[in-house]
Structure 1
Amino acid sequence: MTRQVRQRKQRGRSLVGETYEVEVGPVAHGGHCVARHDGRVLFVRHTLPGERVLARVSEGEEGSRFLRADAVEVLEASPDRVEPPCPFAGPGRCGGCDFQHVALPAQRRLKSAVVAEQLHRLAGLDVDVEVQPVPGDQDGLRWRTRVQLVTDRSGRIGLHKHRSHQVVAVDDCRIARPDARVLVDGHPVEGAGVAVAESVRGHDFEVDPAGFWQVHPGAPEALVDAVLRFLAPRPGERCLDLYAGVGLFSVFLADAVGPTGSVVAVEGERVAAEHAASNLEVFPGAAARRGSVDRDLAEDPGEPVDLVVLDPPREGAKRTVVEEIVRRGPRAVAYVACDPAALARDVAIFAEHGYAMTRLEAFDLFPMTHHVECVALLRNSR
C-alpha cells in the first residue's frame, strides 16, 4: 500500500523577508515581544517593550495567524538596551541567547512579567513575581558548566540558529565557563561513559557526563534551599521525589526525615535512575525506582504520602500525574518548574482538587536567555 504524505496547506504568499516598521508591545513567553502590523500579530526577537524597530519576517504567510520576525534595525531604543557582549548574538546568528541586548536587571524584570502573565492567564492567579539572581555567573556570563555543541555536514562546530538546523560556527560561547564540560552532537568530548561527581551541601552525587544536571553552578543550592524551606520535612514523614534525576532532592529529604521516614525517587532515564540508587544507598529508608512517572504512579497502590517534590520536564506533569499525586493526599507539594506556562497549567489542575499555590520563588538560572526556574509550594486547602 502506498503511504500518503500529507502536505502542509499553503495559506498564501510567503511573507519571509518582508520588513515592517512596528511599535513593540509587551514581552511574551519564548524570548520575543509582541507587535502588530495591519492587524496581524508579530512575535519579534531582539527587541524590547516600547521600542520602535524595523522587523523582518522570518516565518509566516499571508494567511498565518501570526508572524515571527527579527528586529533588524532599532529606530527608537529602550533605555534598557545594551550592546550584546557576545559577537555571535543577533538576528541571523546563534539562537542560544534571547536577551544579550538587554541589561541584566531588565532581563529579570521581563522574566518576572512572563511568569506573572502565565499564572494569571492559565491559572487565574495574580502573583507578584521577582526573579532572583543566584551566585555563580559574571554579570550573566560564564555560568554554563556544560555546553552542547553541534556539527554541520562539513564538520564545523557551533550552535544552531534560532528555530533552525543551520549551524553557526562559535569559537567561544560567552555564557560558558572556561572549564565547562563540552558535548558535541550529544557525546562528551572527554570521559565518555565515566560518571562525574557533583557536590552540594556536603553530599556528593554521581552524574553521567551526558546526563541531566543543573548547568548554573548556583542552581542546585538555590533549588534545594527553596524546596526544603517550602516543605519543612519532619522526621518520620513519607516522601515522593518525581522526575528525580540522580536524586538531588531525594538525598536531602532522606536526611531530613531520618531512618523512621521514607523517600521514593522515581526517574525514567536508565542511567540517571542507576545513579539515584547509588546516591541514596546510604539512607536505609530511601529507594529509587526506574520508570515513567505516570505509569509508575498508576501501577503503585497509592499509599498516602506526606510530601512530594515534582520536577517535571519542560512540558510539565499534566493531569494524570497531578491527579495521582492528589490521590496520595500529601500535605504539601514542591513544584520545580523550568517552564512557566506548564507550571501554570498544572497549578490550575491542582486547584481543581483543593491544592492552592501559597508560595512562589523564581530564579535567574539562565541569564541572557528567556528561560527561568520557579519553585512553587502547593498545599491542600480543604
Structure 2
Amino acid sequence: MPASPAAAPLDWTDRVLELQIGPIAHGGHCVARHEGRVVFVRHALPGERVRAVVTEDAGGSFCRADAIGVLDAHPDRVEPACPWARAGGCGGCDLQHATPAAQRALKAEVVREQLRRLAGLDTDVTVAELPGGTLGWRSRVRLAVDAEGRAGLRAHRSHDVLPIADCPIAPPGLLGPVLAHPSAPGAEIEVAQDVDGRRHVDGRPGPVVQRAAGREWLLSPGVFWQVHPALPDALADVVSEWAAAPHGGIGWDLYGGVGLFAAVLAGQVGPEGRVTVVESSRRAVEDGRAALADLPQVDWRVGRVERLLGGLGERPDVVVADPPRKGLGGALVRALTAVAPARVIHVACDPAALARDIALFGDCGYRLAGLRAFDAFPMTHHVECVALLLPVSA
C-alpha cells in the first residue's frame, strides 16, 4: 500500500486573523491563540480584540503577526508619537501605542513572569520611571544606510532600511543633519549626543563627554555608555546602597566598562581597600584609567571575565557584575559563588537572562534579596534590572 503523502507545512503568512489578545510576553509582543496555535502579536495590548496580519510563519506551533486594526481597544491605548511605530514599521519601539504608565506595568509583568517561570520566584516588581519623559531620551542611535544612500532605521526583524525623517525617542535635532545628506550605501552610522549636548557622528569630533556618580569620563569612539542619560546615576545609586563594602575591603567590578561602579566601590573601600575591574575592551579600560586616575585602589584587568576570574586573588566582599544580554551562565555563577562573596549585585538588561542566573545562584546557595527595575528604554520592551544576591545563611 503506498505511503500517505506528507502533509504540507502550515503557512499562514499574509493571512489576516481576528484575535483575542492575551498577556504580554517577553520580546515586545502579546500572546494570542488561533486554531490551536500561538500567535505573537505586535502593536496589541492585553484584552484587546484585533485584526492582525501574519508576518512570519515557519510552520511550527507558533507564528508572528502585527495588529492592523483594533476592534476593542484597551483603555490605555494611545496614538503613537511616530508614524513608523506600526505594522510593517520600525523595529525599535514596541509600545508607543500604550500610555507611559501602562508600558511600565507591562514591563513589570514581564519581569514577574520570567522570575516565576525560570527561577520559581513570586516577586513583586515595580518598574521605576526615570527623569526626562518617554521621548527624546535616546542619546545614541545607530543608523543603517540603504542601497540608495539614504540613512534610516531597520524594519522589525528585517534588514530593510526605513528612510525616516526623524526619531522621536532621540534628542530633538540630533539626527536631522545626518538624515538629510546621502551616505555610503550599506554603511552604518553611529550618532551620539554627550552630556553637554554636543553631537558626535562616528566618533567625531573628539571624545564623548559623560558624567555620573560625581565624576566625568571622556569616552573614545565605540566605548559603551548607557543610552538613557539618567540611567548611569540611577544604577550607581543602587550599587552604592547595596554594596556596603567595608572600609579597607575588596570589591570586584566584572564587565566593568569604564569603571562607573568601580568608582562607587572605591569610595566605599577607601585607599586601604582594593577594587578590581575586569573588562575586555582595551579602549574602555584606557578611558576608565584616565577618569579614575585619582583612585589608586582601582586595579584594571583587560580580558574576558571567564578567563581572568580565577586569578583575581582573595575573596571579595562584594561583586558587581554587568554582563552582556545573555547573562552570566552556569559556569560563571558557579565560579563566583565558589569564592563566597558576601554579596553580589547583578545588573541586567534582559529579564529572562537575569531570571536564569538567579535560579543558578539559588542552586549555589544564594538568594534574591532585592530587585530594582528601571524604565531605561521607554517606548520599547526593554527594561533594566538590578538584583541583590546574598548567601542563604545571611
In the alignment, is the contact (CA less than 8 A) between 2:143 and 2:190 conserved in 1? Answer: no
Q: Distance in 1 between matches of 2:206 and 2:11?
A: 49
Report what 1:343 is aligned to. Answer: 354
For the residue of structure 2 that corresponds to 1:178, the secondary structure is coil
Classify 1:378/1:11 alpha carbon distance in 2 versus 1 (closer, same or farther; 3 Å).
farther
For the residue of structure 2 that corresponds to 1:259, the secondary structure is coil
Report what 1:6 is aligned to. Answer: none
- Normalised to the residue count of structure 1, the TM-score between the two structures is 0.93
Q: Distance in 1 between matches of 2:277 and 2:206?
A: 23
The Cα offsets for residues 298-356 of structure 1, whole Å up to 9 and x where unpaired, read as 4x165211100010111001112111211221101111110000000000111111110
Aligned counterpart in structure 2 of residue 176 of structure 1, from 160, 170, 177: 170
**Paired letter, 2:388:** L
The Cα offsets for residues 49-71 of structure 1, whole Å up to 9 and x where unpaired, read as 0000111111114x312101101
Q: Distance in 2 between matches of 1:11 and 1:346?
A: 40
In the alignment, is the contact (CA less than 8 A) between 1:144 and 1:180 conserved in 2? Answer: no
2:79 counterpart of 1:76: no
For the residue of structure 1 that corresponds to 2:67, the secondary structure is strand
Q: Distance in 2 between matches of 1:306 and 1:288?
A: 18
In the alignment, is the contact (CA less than 8 A) between 1:302 and 1:328 conserved in 2? Answer: no
Classify 1:358/1:180 alpha carbon distance in 2 versus 1 (closer, same or farther; 3 Å).
farther
Classify 1:194/1:289 alpha carbon distance in 2 versus 1 (closer, same or farther; 3 Å).
farther
**Paired letter, 1:124:** G
Aligned counterpart in structure 2 of residue 156 of structure 1, from 130, 150, 153: 150
Q: Distance in 1 between matches of 2:327 and 2:365?
A: 19
* Long gaps (5+) in structure 2: 1-6, 180-186, 192-200
Identity between Structure 1 and Structure 2 (%): 51
CA-CA distance at 1:197 after TM superposition: 2.0
CA-CA distance at 1:190 after TM superposition: 5.6
Report what 1:258 is aligned to. Answer: 270
Report 1:266-281 matches (<5 A): 266-281=278-293
2:346 counterpart of 1:372: no
The Cα offsets for residues 180-226 of structure 1, whole Å up to 9 and x where unpaired, read as 58897155526448322211132111322322111111101111001
Aligned counterpart in structure 1 of residue 208 of structure 2, from 196, 212, 221: 196
2:348 counterpart of 1:327: no
In the alignment, is the contact (CA less than 8 A) between 1:158 and 1:168 conserved in 2? Answer: yes
2:294 counterpart of 1:282: yes
**Paired letter, 1:25:** G
* Long gaps (5+) in structure 1: 1-9
Q: Distance in 2 between matches of 1:121 and 1:283?
A: 42
- Normalised to the residue count of structure 2, the TM-score between the two structures is 0.90
Report 1:93-108 matches (<5 A): 93-108=89-104
Aligned counterpart in structure 1 of residue 161 of structure 2, from 153, 167, 174: 167
In the alignment, is the contact (CA less than 8 A) between 1:206 and 1:246 conserved in 2? Answer: no
2:30 counterpart of 1:33: yes
In the alignment, is the contact (CA less than 8 A) between 1:306 and 1:331 conserved in 2? Answer: yes
**Paired letter, 2:188:** D
Q: CA RMSD in A?
A: 1.8
How many residue pairs match? The answer is 369
Report what 1:124 is aligned to. Answer: 120
